[in-house]
Chain A
Amino acid sequence: MSGCALVLILGATSDIARAAARRYAACGHALILVARDATRLEDDAADLRLRFGGAVETRVCDLLDEASRAALLDSLSVLPGIVLCAVGLLGDQAEAERDPALAERIIGTNFTAPALVLGELANRMAGRGSGVLIGISSVAGERGRASNYLYGSAKAGFTAFLSGLRARMAGRGVRVVTVKPGFVRTRMTDGLNLPAPLTAGPEEVTAAILDAGRRGVDVVYVRPVWRLIMLVIRMLPEAVFKRVKL
């Protein structure tokens, strides 16, 4: 991909995405930032412009809303070269078990909405014959756990979607990257007690994302130890898995 492609960031107010935006802007990329909170987007955009001097646009969009999604896609007068999707919602599992509206929001935010937008962008990129799509999924999608299976199952769907899209786009000049960060210290995990050796900072995730974007890696585990941990978790027989509290 050309060094200075236009970068579209979905979920731009996430801590991971903010760190990525700074990296991209530092490398001279123009940016379009997308999220729901207009004030935060404007402040972030002002920061990026002042620091790096490049072009930064913002789009307020609720990706769960079909009309809002369509308006976003319509507003893209130039098709981006790189799309980073950091949209996600952890949600409260216990609450979502009782509240179907919340369950639907978790599934929609982590799977359906990102999949629909990335799918459409992939079609357009295939038409042009170039592009990179980077989706932030999660190791939580590798096996449904009692403590967060709504989030996990939606991420599983998103991971499968990215994998299929990658296969379809192969040979059409469009690369699809799946990022599995493991634990990251962000707004999403504030107040959770995360084990330090397994927990990355947003900067570390960002470095892995940019590196994967450049090197053409398909699936990235930010800390390699997670590949091993998830292998073990996937291998546990269901009879055992049911009984361990994870």
Chain B
Amino acid sequence: MRLSGWGRHPWADGALLAVRTGGDVTRRLRPAASLIARGNGRAYGDAALNPQGMLSMLPMDRLLAFDPATGLLTCEAGVTLADILAVFGPRGWFPVVTPGTKFVTIGGAIAADVHGKNHHRDGGFGAHVRSLDLALADGRVVTCGPGREPELFAATLGGMGLTGVILRASFRLRPIETAWIRQETRRAATLDDALALFEQSGDRSYSVAWIDALAGGASLGRSVLMLGEHAVASDLPAGLRAAPLVSGRRGTLRVPCDFPGCALNRHSVAAFNEAYYRLAVPGTRLVDLERFFYPLDALLDWNRLYGRRGFVQYQCVVPRAAAAGGLRRLLTATAASGLASFLAVLKLLGPQGAGLLSFPLDGYTLALDFPATAPVFALFRELDAIVADHGGRLYLAKDARMDAEALRRGYPELDRFLAARQAWGARSIFHSLQSRRLGI
């Protein structure tokens, strides 16, 4: 079966083997096998691709236990956040950490140690995992967590499926009173304004900025900042108070087929950016959870907007102390290239968690989407040098092209990760196109 990540670049042709139970997984782990677990394929690049075999975790979608006293949920690794939202949202529970799409599995959320708009306050997904069951290369299943086999746990958080197959996990949900967010919108005319706003908003639960990556000169870094707090019942107008956990269910639209690759070009993106910036009315309003956290999910298959050649995302993080200079250089290089990034997002991250290859570190993360073309790859190499100069690194869940050198420079715990991978026998079986490319 021909498969790709969310960016539809690159592709791999290989067997996708559905697993329904832990037993199905361990039966597949024969000594000569080469495999990688695949969740819902929302990583952008080649992390969940292996032409020699991929285990589809989606059939392992059972919810197993929930403790309403603590919010601790135990479920199989193929359960998606969308599932959890549908079941537990109306009962007043929400994932403590959620990425910008709800269509990810719990296995994928742990393997990438995903971050949300609240990383500065709550850390990554892994910080809320109590324990997980991991199928190792030799077929044993080991339970690990912060207090049990902590080194294996640390290697598995953000370990991109390279330590074993996560079968199930226990993690915390947070109580919510309503299905609404009090969203405050603010405009920042320059990069410095944007960073200042983030710094002032460190006590806010959620923060994220959309940034105009085409704007240069005096407007470099102009952004629209969105800050959010869970609304409590008394924040809601009387009409919504009767059913505070129900938000208006909006339909979803599907992108019908591949768009011609030119639909997103410099001119259409510039026009969009201008309109977005002007129309972002500063002020506070109520938005429903789904719209706040998953604005893109309303348009299913939006990755097809980029046409057949697919697209690549560049997501890097620059440490806080170097952020102003680093981001300025990254944005200047991007604006100068004339290449249009349709989605450009700036977020504040908090300190690094336990994961040896977890992406977040105390600083600012910038994410840019581009079509997968030669000039874009050339720009990325330029950006790599800037990221390295400022002590930053790239996110493996978005990556389809970084080299081994960039990984080594960005991830100081790489050797510890490799030692764990060796110690648990994972090197012999668990490979992805990404791990091969990076030589790990």
- A residues contacting B by CB (< 8 A) are 15, 39-40, 43-44, 46-47, 50-51, 187, 190
Contacts and interface: CB of A to CB of B under 8 A. Distances in A.
Interface hub of B21, B61, B76 (most chain A Cβ within 10 A): B21
A205 to B, nearest CB: 15
Contacts of A47: 61-64
B32 interface: no
Contact of A46 (B17, B61, B65): B65
Interface size class of B (residues with CB under 8 A): 10 to 19
A187 B64 contact: no
Contacts of B65: 46, 50
A78 B61 CA distance: 30
14 contacts: A15-B20, A39-B21, A43-B62, A43-B76, A46-B62, A46-B63, A47-B61, A47-B64, A50-B66, A50-B87, A51-B63, A51-B87, A187-B18, A190-B17
Nearest to B63: A50
Interface string B46-69: 000000000000010111111000
A187 B23 CA distance: 13
Given A46-B64, A47-B62, 9 more contacts: A15-B59, A39-B21, A40-B21, A43-B62, A43-B76, A47-B63, A50-B65, A51-B63, A187-B18
A43 B63 CA distance: 8
Contacts of A39: 21
Nearest to A190: B18
A44 B62 CA distance: 7
A47 B76 CA distance: 10
A61 to B, nearest CB: 19
B376 to A, nearest CB: 34
A22 to B, nearest CB: 10
A46 B87 CA distance: 14
Nearest to A47: B62
Contacts of B66: 50
B171 to A, nearest CB: 15
Contacts of B17: 190
A34 B432 CA distance: 39
A46 B65 CA distance: 7
B76 to A, nearest CB: 8
Contacts of A44: 62
A46 B63 CA distance: 7
Q: Which of A15, A40, A50 has the most CB of B within 10 A?
A: A50
A97 B210 CA distance: 66
A128 to B, nearest CB: 34
A190 B17 CA distance: 8
B205 to A, nearest CB: 27
Interface in B1-51: 17-18, 20-21
Contacts of B62: 43-44, 46-47
**Which residue of A15, A43, A44 has the most chain B CB atoms within 10 A of its CB atom?**
A43
A46 B21 CA distance: 14
- Which 5 A-B pairs have CB atoms at the shortest separation, nearest pair first? A47-B62, A50-B63, A47-B63, A43-B62, A46-B64
Contacts of B61: 47
A86 B231 CA distance: 47
A190 B24 CA distance: 12
Nearest to B91: A53
Interface string B330-353: 000000000000000000000000
A83 B252 CA distance: 36
A234 to B, nearest CB: 33
Interface in B59-98: 59, 61-66, 76, 87
Contacts of A46: 62-65
Nearest to B22: A39
Contacts of B21: 39-40, 43
A43 B66 CA distance: 13
Contacts of A43: 21, 62, 64, 76
A187 B63 contact: no
Contacts of A50: 63-66, 87
A206 B259 CA distance: 34
A18 to B, nearest CB: 9
A51 B64 CA distance: 10
Nearest to B61: A47
A223 B59 CA distance: 23
A190 B1 CA distance: 13
Contacts of A187: 18, 20
Contacts of B59: 15
A15 B61 CA distance: 12
A185 to B, nearest CB: 8
Interface string B350-386: 0000000000000000000000000000000000000
A100 to B, nearest CB: 27
Nearest to A44: B62
B92 to A, nearest CB: 14
Contacts of B76: 43
A43 B87 CA distance: 17
A190 B20 CA distance: 11
A134 to B, nearest CB: 23
A40 B62 CA distance: 10
A187 B18 CA distance: 8
B82 to A, nearest CB: 13
Which of B17, B62, B66, B76 has most chain A Cβ within 10 Å?
B62
Contacts of A190: 17-18
A15 B66 CA distance: 24
A44 B66 CA distance: 14
